[in-house]
Amino acid sequence: MAEVHCRAARAAGAEVVGVASSTRASAERAAQRFDIPSAYASVEELLVDGSVDLVHVCTPNASHAAITMAALEADKHVVCEKPLATDPETAASLLRLAAERKRIATVPFVYRFHPMVREARARVGAGDLGPLITVQGSYLQDWLLNTSDDNWRVDAEVGGASRAFADIGSHLCDLVEFVAGERISGLCAQTRTIFADRKNTKCITTEDVAALLFRTANGLLGTFMISQVAPGRKNRLSFEINGRAQSLFFDQEAPETLWVGGKAASQIITRSPEGLHADAARLALVPAGHPQGYQDAFNGFVADTYAAVAGDVPDGLPDFADGLRAAALTAAVLTSARDGAWVSVPDLFLPPDTPGRSHPLTAQQPLTTSD
């Protein structure tokens, strides 16, 4: 992911001044490959470099919190990959620290930056769908389909207790909550680990599959299927929202279109200059008919993060509050799957329209729950 971040940083006009990795040799390889001036011996060495004003944390999950904490304490702005932390308490402490230090602190829930996702959100917000009734979504991959497929993510010590949900289900939840404008208030989850042993990693406890039934406070009912062992599916992140008046369907593997369903007639709308809501048009980088994709969405996210550093308040920028939200949802999924029970999801952060949303908590403010 560091490569994707690096491209996005440069696209936004930043100077990538240095890279740290697990070893100096690894940092030097990356520096050479991506033409980065400095290769540091350690993250600590990177953080004392006064020319660094923002750090992108793209390391394995369990190391995010310590690196992010050190970066904030060194007064750097931070883009921290998801999961922000592998438990909600640590995610909340990072959110507080970012607020104390008045740093911009964001998490790459980048699917929010597809223009047609913004179009879907604007249409829901304008009331086109009517009251929302149901939502179904899935995030399906197949890169862990065989026992020979292995990665640090399957090891709970490195990736966190949840794998499929924390790794990709968190994106789906973020996207649906972002578009629907409603938060999951309770859920019932089942998880399954298909392979206890893989090529190098044995006695695996992290899930390959997670299935969720959920509701929001407004009564919206939903189901999600998340899998890293679905043959033929690479990054099949899709969702459909059904309202009383209309439905919307989005598939991130075909991100330039949106299906709008109606009882009398349905249509597929494409990204084009005519008729897009302003927030969607803002993220349209190339002429209609030339497809935009994942890197473009990532570029939009990083550009908005840097704009926030410069003092702007971009709409829909996913920050540490959203990282905490994902950690809370992940904890709820694990609890529900373990206990076989319906679980309430605490609403741990202030509403998006709260002034100063980027810094929603101070050290003195307790976390509150809506349940």
Ligand X SMILES: NC(=O)c1ccc[n+]([C@@H]2O[C@H](COP(=O)([O-])OP(=O)(O)OC[C@H]3O[C@@H](n4cnc5c(N)ncnc54)[C@H](O)[C@@H]3O)[C@@H](O)[C@H]2O)c1
Contacts to ligand X by CB under 6 A? 1, 20-22, 26, 43, 58-61, 63, 81-82, 108, 110, 167
Q: Could you tell me how far CA 49 lies from the centroid of its own chain?
A: 28
Question: CA-based diameter of the chain, in Å?
Answer: 63
Shortest approach of ligand X to residue 213 CB, angstroms? 25
Scan for tokens 């005519």, then name that residue. Answer: 274
Shortest approach of ligand X to residue 245 CB, angstroms? 32
Q: Could you tell me how far CA 81 lies from the centroid of its own chain?
A: 8
Give the nearer residue to ligand X in terms of CB position, either 167 or 347: 167
In a 13 Å sphere around the CA of 263, the CA atoms on its Cβ side amount to 4
Give the nearer residue to ligand X in terms of CB position, either 1 or 268: 1
Shortest approach of ligand X to residue 234 CB, angstroms? 13
Shortest approach of ligand X to residue 93 CB, angstroms? 18
Comparing CA positions, the residue from 329, 357, 322 lying closest to residue 82 is: 322
Give the nearer residue to ligand X in terms of CB position, either 58 or 361: 58
Shortest approach of ligand X to residue 35 CB, angstroms? 17
Give the nearer residue to ligand X in terms of CB position, either 155 or 347: 155
Give the nearer residue to ligand X in terms of CB position, either 115 or 243: 115
Comparing CA positions, the residue from 345, 330, 304, 343 lying closest to residue 91 is: 330
Give the nearer residue to ligand X in terms of CB position, either 45 or 100: 45
Count of Cβ atoms closer than 10 Å to residue 231 Cβ: 8
d(C-alpha 122, C-alpha 363), whole Å: 34
Using CA atoms, how far residue 323 sits from 82, 108, 109, 227, 371, in Å, is 7, 9, 9, 21, 20
Shortest approach of ligand X to residue 101 CB, angstroms? 21
